[in-house]
Amino acid sequence: MVHIPAGEFLIGSDPRTDPHGRASEHPQHILHLPGYSIARLPITNQQYQAFVRATGYPQPINWTGGASPVGPGHPVVYVSRHDAAMYCRWLSEATGKPYALPSEAEWEKAARGKDGRIYPWGNEWQAGRCNSREEGLRATTPVGQYALGKSPYGLLDMAGNVWEWTHSHYQYLGKLIH
């Protein structure tokens, strides 16, 4: 977990600087959030498998025999927001610490920092900083593989690889896909 300090940040997109920003992300504006913590990496198949085994919760549809078809270090996929929330509930009970999905605003601050940058690393697209269409892999990669794509707070995989859930009811949730 990484602590994100309380304070203001720019949320949303400015169409003058981000031509790929969606209209639903406009206008870019200042928002204040209290401090919070967020996972440094996405949840892996191995972590989710522990939840499935401990609770008997249904496995993702792409799994067979209780295991993912890709490596244990890859991000878990084919889970709904409800599944993700149930994982958080189980993790809270198992550890005695509170866990929950972040809000869209919490996710965005952790991903983009305080200054409203377009990508976790800055405002210019740079190939090789995340698993994106341009990489041509057409599959997930193990979490944390793209260290050059880290956010200002040191979080990894905040762009590319997979989409992530938040608890907010917002049309465009999760990972930024270039």
CATH of the domain at 168: 3.90.1580.10
pLDDT in the model for residue 9: 96
Give me the pLDDT at residue 176, please. 31
Report the alpha-carbon distance of residue 100 to residue 88 in Å, rounded.
Answer: 5
The reported pLDDT for the residue numbered 178 is 28
Output the pLDDT for position 168.
83
pLDDT of residue 124: 94
Phi and psi at residue 119, to the nearest 5°: -115, 160
DSSP state at residue 112? H
Q: Which stretches in the chain have pLDDT values below 70?
A: 169-178
Q: How far apart are CA 14 and CA 25, in angstroms?
A: 8
- What does pTM read for this prediction? 0.90
Question: What tokens appear for 27 in the block?
Answer: 């206008």
Residues of the domain holding 56? 1-178
Q: How many domains does the chain have?
A: 1
Please, what is the Cα angle at 122 between 81 and 131, to 5 degrees? Answer: 50
